[in-house]
Amino acid sequence: MELLIASAIGVLTAAGIYMVLRQRTFSVIIGTSLLSYAVNVFLFASGRLTVNAPPVLRDGVDVYADPLPQALVLTAIVISFGMTAVVVIMALGSYLSAGDDLVDVPDPHADIPQAPQTLRGEAVE
Protein backbone atom coordinates (compact mmCIF):
# COMPACT_ATOMS: atom_id res chain seq x y z
CA MET A 1 0.00 0.00 0.00
CA GLU A 2 2.91 2.33 0.78
CA LEU A 3 4.21 1.87 -2.74
CA LEU A 4 0.80 2.57 -4.23
CA ILE A 5 0.23 5.76 -2.23
CA ALA A 6 3.77 7.02 -2.72
CA SER A 7 3.73 6.47 -6.47
CA ALA A 8 0.29 8.05 -6.72
CA ILE A 9 1.58 11.17 -4.97
CA GLY A 10 4.66 11.16 -7.17
CA VAL A 11 2.75 10.80 -10.42
CA LEU A 12 0.19 13.44 -9.45
CA THR A 13 2.92 15.89 -8.47
CA ALA A 14 4.92 15.28 -11.64
CA ALA A 15 1.88 15.70 -13.83
CA GLY A 16 0.87 18.80 -11.88
CA ILE A 17 4.27 20.42 -12.27
CA TYR A 18 4.29 19.64 -15.98
CA MET A 19 0.89 21.26 -16.42
CA VAL A 20 1.78 24.26 -14.26
CA LEU A 21 4.73 25.06 -16.51
CA ARG A 22 2.48 25.40 -19.54
CA GLN A 23 1.54 28.67 -21.12
CA ARG A 24 -2.23 28.84 -20.94
CA THR A 25 -4.24 29.40 -17.78
CA PHE A 26 -6.47 26.38 -18.43
CA SER A 27 -3.59 23.91 -18.28
CA VAL A 28 -2.06 25.75 -15.35
CA ILE A 29 -5.30 25.51 -13.37
CA ILE A 30 -5.52 21.78 -14.15
CA GLY A 31 -1.93 21.58 -12.92
CA THR A 32 -2.64 23.34 -9.64
CA SER A 33 -5.65 21.05 -9.08
CA LEU A 34 -3.45 17.98 -9.63
CA LEU A 35 -0.89 19.40 -7.23
CA SER A 36 -3.54 20.03 -4.61
CA TYR A 37 -4.79 16.42 -4.98
CA ALA A 38 -1.21 15.26 -4.52
CA VAL A 39 -0.76 17.34 -1.39
CA ASN A 40 -4.08 16.17 0.02
CA VAL A 41 -3.08 12.54 -0.29
CA PHE A 42 0.33 13.43 1.10
CA LEU A 43 -1.18 15.12 4.16
CA PHE A 44 -3.46 12.15 4.64
CA ALA A 45 -0.48 9.82 4.61
CA SER A 46 1.55 11.99 7.00
CA GLY A 47 -0.25 10.33 9.94
CA ARG A 48 1.08 6.94 8.76
CA LEU A 49 -0.95 4.40 6.82
CA THR A 50 -3.20 2.12 8.87
CA VAL A 51 -6.10 -0.10 7.95
CA ASN A 52 -9.02 -1.10 10.16
CA ALA A 53 -7.65 0.76 13.17
CA PRO A 54 -9.75 2.74 15.66
CA PRO A 55 -9.39 6.49 15.22
CA VAL A 56 -8.61 7.60 18.78
CA LEU A 57 -6.38 6.60 21.61
CA ARG A 58 -7.96 4.24 24.06
CA ASP A 59 -6.53 2.09 26.79
CA GLY A 60 -5.06 -1.12 25.44
CA VAL A 61 -4.95 -0.03 21.79
CA ASP A 62 -1.53 -0.01 20.15
CA VAL A 63 -2.43 0.57 16.52
CA TYR A 64 -4.70 3.53 15.84
CA ALA A 65 -5.43 5.89 12.98
CA ASP A 66 -4.23 9.43 13.61
CA PRO A 67 -7.30 11.69 13.40
CA LEU A 68 -5.38 14.96 13.05
CA PRO A 69 -4.22 14.57 9.42
CA GLN A 70 -7.81 13.83 8.51
CA ALA A 71 -8.86 17.14 10.02
CA LEU A 72 -5.97 18.88 8.29
CA VAL A 73 -6.80 17.38 4.94
CA LEU A 74 -10.43 18.43 5.28
CA THR A 75 -9.28 22.02 5.78
CA ALA A 76 -6.86 21.74 2.88
CA ILE A 77 -9.55 20.33 0.57
CA VAL A 78 -11.97 23.13 1.39
CA ILE A 79 -9.33 25.81 0.90
CA SER A 80 -7.96 24.43 -2.35
CA PHE A 81 -11.48 23.98 -3.66
CA GLY A 82 -12.32 27.60 -2.91
CA MET A 83 -9.07 28.87 -4.34
CA THR A 84 -9.55 26.89 -7.54
CA ALA A 85 -13.02 28.38 -7.93
CA VAL A 86 -11.59 31.88 -7.50
CA VAL A 87 -8.81 31.34 -9.99
CA VAL A 88 -11.18 29.86 -12.57
CA ILE A 89 -13.38 32.95 -12.38
CA MET A 90 -10.41 35.30 -12.56
CA ALA A 91 -8.87 33.44 -15.48
CA LEU A 92 -12.23 33.55 -17.24
CA GLY A 93 -12.50 37.28 -16.64
CA SER A 94 -8.97 37.80 -17.87
CA TYR A 95 -9.69 35.67 -20.95
CA LEU A 96 -12.86 37.56 -21.78
CA SER A 97 -11.34 41.00 -21.31
CA ALA A 98 -7.97 40.38 -22.92
CA GLY A 99 -8.99 37.94 -25.65
CA ASP A 100 -6.47 35.21 -24.90
CA ASP A 101 -5.70 33.00 -21.94
CA LEU A 102 -1.92 33.22 -21.81
CA VAL A 103 -0.48 33.31 -18.31
CA ASP A 104 2.29 35.85 -18.74
CA VAL A 105 1.56 39.53 -18.60
CA PRO A 106 2.17 40.90 -22.10
CA ASP A 107 4.75 43.65 -22.36
CA PRO A 108 2.67 46.71 -23.09
CA HIS A 109 5.74 48.90 -22.85
CA ALA A 110 6.83 48.43 -26.42
CA ASP A 111 5.71 51.91 -27.30
CA ILE A 112 4.72 54.39 -24.69
CA PRO A 113 1.36 55.49 -23.56
CA GLN A 114 -1.71 53.48 -23.96
CA ALA A 115 -4.95 55.02 -22.97
CA PRO A 116 -4.51 55.89 -19.28
CA GLN A 117 -7.95 54.51 -18.59
CA THR A 118 -6.76 50.97 -19.25
CA LEU A 119 -3.77 51.50 -17.00
CA ARG A 120 -5.93 52.72 -14.18
CA GLY A 121 -8.58 50.18 -14.83
CA GLU A 122 -11.70 52.27 -15.21
CA ALA A 123 -14.20 52.01 -17.96
CA VAL A 124 -12.61 49.21 -19.87
CA GLU A 125 -15.09 47.21 -21.86
Binding site for another protein (CB under 8 A): 20, 25, 28-29, 32, 35-36, 38-39, 42-43, 45-48, 55-56, 58-59, 67-72, 74-76, 79-80, 82-84, 86-87, 90-91, 93-94, 97-98, 103-106, 108-109, 112-113, 115-116, 118-122, 124
Task: Transcribe 29-46 into DSSP letters.
Answer: HHHHHHHHHHHHHHHHHT
Choice between 7 and 82, CB closer to another protein? 82
Choice between 51 and 56, CB closer to another protein? 56
Please tell me the distance from the alpha carbon of residue 44 to that of residue 26, in angstroms, as a whole number: 27
Which residues lie below 8 Å from residue 24, measured CB to CB, with a gap of 6+?
A: 101, 102, 103
Please tell me the distance from the alpha carbon of residue 11 to that of residue 13, in angstroms, as a whole number: 5
Residue 73 CB, shortest distance to another protein, in Å, is: 9
Choice between 48 and 53, CB closer to another protein? 48
Helix (H, G, I), strand (E, B) or coil at 91: helix
